[in-house]
């Protein structure tokens, strides 16, 4: 079946540290892949996406590359800020079928000054 | 500004009571969704609707009901049959054109607690 697996949090970093949040997926066909971010007390908002193999999504200094051979979509940022503290969700939408997104469990990021 | 509005932001339910969470969008989106968020469990799909007057059960529909009488509105009722309703509820919408690359737009959520 379709699923998304994210690394468990919380991830705790100092400001300006390098960030990686791992995400792997299982899906039939060729899904589109997404990272959403949720700030405290709010809904989710799209951070970046990639729709085919080897595509790189990027936004606000965050990047993720669609790796079909490893079924992964790891989120990276070279230098995190305190304002990046949030919960990050990896998601995919499988091609064909009902196009309903499948979300991972979310990874909490805490950045200390 | 276009967006999704959820109300109320906080809601309290007494035992045996039904409560309704509101979700309105002015994005002209066809598809709307309800998710439940519990700490450490991510998002779980309750119901979704891809067109007016039609909706489908998600993974955890028991104890919930919805209606989709208007394109812009997708209210969720938490019934007394839902024995553990305390959670953060998120409404979302998407264009609904049937592509896998559509993003979801989310409301700011409703925190439901049991008195």
Residue recorded with tokens 């209606």:
B67
* pLDDT (tens digit per residue) in B65-87: 999 999 999 999 999 999 899 99
A:B CB pairs within 8 Å: 58
Lowest mean pLDDT among A17-26, A53-62, A92-101: A92-101
* pLDDT (tens digit per residue) in B91-102: 999 988 777 778
CB spacing of B56 vs A36 below 8 angstroms: no
* B113 vs A98 pLDDT, higher one: B113
pLDDT at residue B101 in the model: 75
Angle formed at CA B71 by CA B108 and CA B56, multiple of 5 degrees: 80
CA dist A28 to A1, A2, A82, B57, B90, Å?
A: 8, 7, 37, 21, 27
pLDDT at residue A65 in the model: 98
With 0-12 / 13-18 / 19 or more C-beta atoms within 10 angstroms meaning exposed / middle / buried, residue A16 is exposed
CB spacing of A100 vs B92 below 8 angstroms: no
Neighbouring C-beta atoms of residue B111, cutoff 10 Å: 15
Phi-psi category of residue A68: left, alpha or beta, with phi > 0 → left and psi -120 to 50 → alpha: alpha
pLDDT higher than threshold 90 for residue B2: no
pLDDT higher than threshold 90 for residue B57: yes
DSSP calls for chain B: ---EEEE-SEEEE-TT--EEEEEEE-S--SEEEEEEEETTTEEEEEEEEEETTEEEE-TT-TTEEE--SBTTB--EEE-TT-S---EEEEEEEE--SS-TTPPPEE---EEEEE-
Smallest Cβ distance to B45: which of A41, A99, A100?
A100
Q: Among all residues of chain A, which has the CA nearest to that of B50? A: A98
pLDDT at residue A95 in the model: 75
Name the pLDDT band for B45 (thresholds 50, 70, 90): very high
Does residue B39 belong to the interface with chain A, where contact is any CB pair within 8 Å?
no
Cis peptide before B34 (omega within 30 of 0): no
Go through chain B and tell me how many residues it has.
115
Q: Do the bridges between strand B10-13 and strand B110-114 make them parallel or antiparallel, or are there none, so unpaired?
A: parallel
Q: How far apart are CA A100 and CA B66, in angstroms?
A: 17
DSSP A47: E
CB spacing of B100 vs A94 below 8 angstroms: yes
CB spacing of A103 vs B104 below 8 angstroms: no
* pLDDT (tens digit per residue) in A81-106: 999 999 999 999 887 767 888 899 99
CB spacing of A45 vs B40 below 8 angstroms: no
């Amino acid at each position: 079946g379709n699923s998304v697996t994210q690394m468990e949090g919380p991830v705790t970093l100092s400001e300006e540290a390098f960030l990686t949040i791992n995400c792997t997926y299982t899906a039939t066909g060729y899904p589109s892949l997404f990272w959403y971010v949720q700030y405290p007390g709010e809904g989710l908002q799209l951070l970046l996406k990639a729709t085919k193999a080897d595509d790189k999504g990027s936004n606000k200094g965050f990047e993720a590359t669609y790796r079909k051979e490893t079924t992964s979509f790891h989120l990276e940022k070279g230098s995190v800020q305190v304002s990046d503290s949030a919960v990050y969700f990896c998601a995919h939408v499988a091609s064909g079928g009902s196009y309903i997104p499948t979300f991972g469990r979310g990874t909490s990021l805490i950045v200390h000054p | 500004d276009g967006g999704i509005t959820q109300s109320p932001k906080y809601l309290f339910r007494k035992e045996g009571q039904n409560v309704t969470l509101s979700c309105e969008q002015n994005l002209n989106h066809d598809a709307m969704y309800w998710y439940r968020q519990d700490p450490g469990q991510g998002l779980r799909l309750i119901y979704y609707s891809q067109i007016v007057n039609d909706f489908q059960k998600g993974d955890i529909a028991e104890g919930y009901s919805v209606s989709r009488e208007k394109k812009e509105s997708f209210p969720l009722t938490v019934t007394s049959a839902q024995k553990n309703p305390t959670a953060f509820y998120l409404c979302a919408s998407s264009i609904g054109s049937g592509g896998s690359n559509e993003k979801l737009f989310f409301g700011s959520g409703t925190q439901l607690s049991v008195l």
